[in-house]
Amino acid sequence: MDKIYDLLIVGGGLAGIAAAIYAARKEMKFAIISPEFGGEIANTTYVENYPGFASIDGKELAQKYVDHMKSFENLEIIEDAVTEVKKEGNLFWVTTYGGTFKSKTVIWATGSKYKSLNVPGEEELKSRGVTYCSTCDGPLFKNKTVVVVGAGNSGLTSAIYMKDIAKHVYLLNKNPTIKGDPVLVDRLKDPKVTIINSSRVKRIIGEKKVESVAIDNNGNEELLHVDGVIVNVGYLPITEPIKGMIEFDSFGYLSTDNKQMTKVPGFFAAGDVVNNPYKQLVVSASDGCVAALGAYDYLISQKHH
């Protein structure tokens, strides 16, 4: 394939979409590669911290991003998944299931995937009571008892959503106090919600489906009889295809400079794959913007050299 892009954006979440909008405005020769578009926010019931929208359904917000991106005529979309990225000379070779593409710069904006508990029974009972997405699977637990594991903002949001569906919700918090936003904690004040601090899951029990969860509650083992386990204990950055080409920090994230460029010249990163303590939509949008403008500046500087 002889075509050489100025930029390839990998990832269809907000970081990648924001990068695509700015790349289109700069009239770069670029494409965005992702098997799907909209990102993880499409699985969220409501968003109340994105400027311009006091409250909006996550799916609706994701669709607005996608529609905005698709409004540009110079946009090329490649609906595929990237399997490998290599750099040879000044060019990046980006391989997908469908082919290989060459580009002068890359923005890696693949986001993250749900982190597992890594406890006995979790793997065996996935999709049989164990889930990582309350919006996707919450309705399956109507009038049943569930345990939400994790009391960060995603766990709190999940528990708030589930209290209107389930008969009872247990919220497990590994810390002595909840560290999520107070406004979310206030919404959990409900007889249907039991918060258990300083607790962890030891194992998930069930034959054909989840029947109970053994927890460590302040050093004592307890058994909770539940129908579902909703895991919200954080995320892992999606970086498998770039292993070997680039170094990660001790947590598996990418480090970038103030233009979102990694230590590999011409290779940029944006959104939840970046070493940033705040995994927020506005941060991802900002990263995508900066990365696209950074890639544009990099290409100009290379021409001058």
Q: Out of 136, 164, 190, 257, which one is annotated catalytic?
A: 136
Of 179, 225, 175, the residue nearest 199 (C-alpha): 175
Dihedral pair phi/psi, residue 257, rounded to 5°: -90, -170
Catalytic residue among 57, 80, 133, 181: 133
- CA 176 to chain centroid: 26
* CB contact at 8 A, 8 and 101: yes
Known active-site residue 133: yes
Q: Is 119 exposed, middle or buried (0-12, 13-18, 19+ CB in 10 A)?
A: middle
Q: What is the DSSP letter of 98?
A: S
- Catalytic, out of 57, 67, 80, 137: 137
Cα 256 to the center of its chain, rounded Å: 18
Give the DSSP H or E segment for 31: strand 30-33
Rounded to whole angstroms, the Cα distance separating 36 from 186 reads 35
158, 127, 65, 300: CA torsion to nearest 10 = 110
The residues annotated with a catalytic role in the active site are 133, 136-137
